[in-house]
Amino acid sequence: MNGMAQPDNASYYATYTTVLTVILVGVAFAAAAFGANRLLRPTRPTREKLLTYESGVDPVGEGWAQTHVRYYVFAYLYVVFAVDAIYLFPWATVFAAPGFGWVTLVEMFVFLGFIAVGLLYAWRKGVLTWT
């Protein structure tokens, strides 16, 4: 691990205990807010109140309407690139450490080059314009 001190298990679990506790506090906060609201609020449901809001007009059809998702190609691109980006992080922390240097950097440039060429290809194919 390139001279980086490995945290011992006890402190590792201690930090994540804090994270876990904060998540629990967040859930408790939401529960308390909903609980207080339950005690304080009036409940007088009417048919009109529970109707789906459509600018004051009675709703037409159902809410889960079909739409044309125009950016699904962006979604494919995104998935490819996001997976690539994950590989950057472990590399980012070590590439300048002793024993790595230029070779590691060039290897990453090859990798980034592939990403860039992929993006350029998509661009030239006209994928990056709204269809």
Q: Which of residues 40-69 bind another protein (CB under 8 A)?
A: 40-45, 47, 49-55, 59, 62-65, 67, 69
Nearest approach, Cβ of residue 2 and another protein (Å):
9
Among 82, 110, 124, 126, binds another protein (CB under 8 A): 82
- Minimum CB separation of residue 56 from another protein in Å reads 11
Let me know: does 101 contact 2? Beta carbons within 8 Å: no
Number of residues binding to another protein, judged by CB under 8 A: 73
Among 92, 114, 117, 125, binds another protein (CB under 8 A): 92
Question: Token pair 């304080």 is at which residue?
Answer: 40
Residues 16-45 that bind another protein (CB under 8 A): 16-19, 21-23, 25-27, 29-30, 33-34, 36-38, 40-45
Q: Which residues contact 4 (CB under 8 A, 6 or more apart)?
A: none
Dihedral angle over CA of 76, 80, 86, 91, nearest 10: -160
Shortest distance, CB of residue 129 to another protein, whole angstroms?
Answer: 8
How long a stretch of residues is the chain?
131
Question: Is residue 117 within the footprint of another protein (CB under 8 A)?
Answer: no
Cα three-residue angle 42-44-50, rounded to 5 degrees:
120
Residues 6+ apart with CB under 8 A from 95: 101, 104, 105, 108
Pure H helices in the chain: 9-40, 72-92, 102-124
Residue from 116, 117, 121, 125 binding another protein (CB under 8 A): 116
CB of 119 to another protein, least distance (A): 6
